[in-house]
Amino acid sequence: MSYNLIILFATPIFILLIFTEFIYGLIKQKNNYRLNDTFMSINLGILSRIPEILNLGFATLIYDITANHFSLGIIWENNIYLWVVAFIFYDFLYYWLHRASHRINILWAAHSVHHHGEEFNLATALRQTSTGFLSKWIFFIPSFIVGFPAEVFFAVGALNLIYQFWVHTEHIGKLGFLEYILVTPSNHRIHHAINDEYIDANYGGVFIIWDRLFGSFVEENADKVIIYGTKSPLRSWNPFWANFQVYNDIYKSFFTANNLKEIFNFLFKPPEWSSNKLNQKNMIFTEKYETLISNDLKLTILVLFSLTLSSSAILSIFIGQINQIELVICLTFIINSIYFISKISECKALQVKYEFIKLASFLLLFIFIFDNQHLVQLTVIVHAIISLIFIHFISHKSFRYLKDR
């Protein structure tokens, strides 16, 4: 089973578990879900799938070259031992990728997306980068040098990612002896903390033993209140800005560099080196970022988000049954929908007529560009029509208010 297929099957389970955790938090009066934060996390998850859908990057090419020309020639029998060894080895390599992504600024630019969230819940697990494909492949080349079959590599990679989902919760305490072997919610909460005593620790994906072996393990102190987020807060509900905030900081830092060595340092030194060099102060806000929006706008966000999630799911299921032009149009429409949701969430000024024109244009494309009638076509058409109707009749006053601000 392929990586994408495993993730596809797991996604509805993720959404169900997120909803279950939300209900559980309400019952226990320990709810840590906020509308904008949750939708931001899931929208980032949707966007993170697009590079793989479009086969961006050259990881597959590099892996193929490595397997064909630089493999050690080890012949692995396709049995349980192969899968166990490959799974453990993948997690070992992931540990070093993860650690490097916190200690090398240009890698942190991609990984920081996962840490921007100021809440720690199952939705946070879906808060993934859209630019990781540019560099993470480097760390997994050894899997192909030792000769693991590609299908095994991608499958254990998907299983590794799925495992990491459940550890993003505040509702599970310490788990006894498992704390010494596996990544658990307790030790992963530390990884997401920005408290000085917790920063940059517990990098393991499945096994915490790597952190214990290589000196990066820190235990959770039950008496210490954990603060989540990043030292340079995002303060935005825009998933596109979340993906490029640190890249933008690196770009701007080039103009302050005195020589090539400093440019190199801005790229490859730890993130705090750049902050110190630029005299940037770490900002830990006492209040979490939030925007005040009316109930009808909240309802609008909920409807548009549900439509976007549904369109993304249907597209993922039937992606092999549409051509490249149809695929690009659908992805562009989904990206536009996510951007529109982010503008509403941030109470940004909106040009409603312009949004109507865009939606109407997409609607015409969906009607006339698709070669054959298909569920994907029907889904995005319904998405566009409901968006048009909903925006016009339900949120007219709110949009006018935003436009006039």
Q: Residue 139's pLDDT is what?
A: 98
Sequence-separated (6 or more) residues with CB below 8 Å from residue 157: 3, 90, 140
Amino acid at 108: W
Sequence-separated (6 or more) residues with CB below 8 Å from residue 103: 200, 270
Q: Work out the percent of the chain whose per-residue pLDDT is above 90.
A: 73
Residue 4 has pLDDT above 80, yes or no: no
C-alpha distance from residue 3 to each of 6, 170, 195, 277 (Å): 5, 28, 35, 41
Residue 400 has pLDDT above 80, yes or no: no
Best mean pLDDT range from 23-27, 219-223, 276-280, 285-289: 23-27
Amino acid at 326: E
Token pair listed for 281: 């102060």
User: Cα separation of 332 and 338, whole Å?
Assistant: 10
C-alpha distance from residue 405 to each of 177, 344, 350, 402 (Å): 56, 13, 9, 5
User: Cα separation of 315 and 131, whole Å?
Assistant: 21
Q: Residue 350's pLDDT is what?
A: 66
Residue at token pair 């993860």: 98
Mean pLDDT of the chain: 91
- Give the helix ranges, DSSP H, for 279-323: 295-317
Per residue in 74-100, pLDDT tens? 888 889 999 999 999 999 999 999 999
Coil, strand or helix: which one is 182? Answer: strand
Coil, strand or helix: which one is 197? Answer: coil
The answer to whether residues 157 and 143 touch, using CB atoms and an 8 Å cutoff, is no
More confident residue, 191 or 222: 191
When pLDDT is cut at 50, 70 and 90, the band that residue 357 belongs to is confident
Q: Residue 347's pLDDT is what?
A: 81
The answer to whether residues 273 and 105 touch, using CB atoms and an 8 Å cutoff, is yes
Coil, strand or helix: which one is 154? Answer: helix
Which pTM was predicted?
0.93
Q: Residue 222's pLDDT is what?
A: 87
The answer to whether residues 306 and 299 touch, using CB atoms and an 8 Å cutoff, is no
User: Cα separation of 288 and 188, whole Å?
Assistant: 21
Q: Residue 349's pLDDT is what?
A: 66
Q: Work out the percent of the chain whose per-residue pLDDT is above 70.
A: 92
User: Cα separation of 171 and 358, whole Å?
Assistant: 43
Closest to 333 measured CA to CA, from 368, 304, 359: 359
The answer to whether residues 303 and 392 touch, using CB atoms and an 8 Å cutoff, is no
User: Cα separation of 340 and 335, whole Å?
Assistant: 9
Burial class (CB in 10 A: 0-12, 13-18, 19+), 77: exposed
The answer to whether residues 237 and 290 touch, using CB atoms and an 8 Å cutoff, is no
Per residue in 223-281, pLDDT tens? 899 999 999 999 999 999 999 999 999 999 999 998 999 999 999 999 998 877 666 65
pLDDT, average across residues 302-306: 93
Q: Residue 374's pLDDT is what?
A: 79
Per residue in 145-180, pLDDT tens? 999 999 999 999 999 999 999 999 999 999 999 999
Q: Residue 16's pLDDT is what?
A: 96
More confident residue, 105 or 9: 105
When pLDDT is cut at 50, 70 and 90, the band that residue 404 belongs to is very low
pLDDT, average across residues 298-327: 92
pLDDT, average across residues 48-53: 93
Provide the angle, in degrees to the nearest 10, between the axes of the packed helices 3-27 and 295-317: 150
Coil, strand or helix: which one is 266? Answer: helix
* Beta pairing partners, 182: 207
Per residue in 113-153, pLDDT tens? 999 999 999 999 999 999 999 999 999 999 999 999 999 99
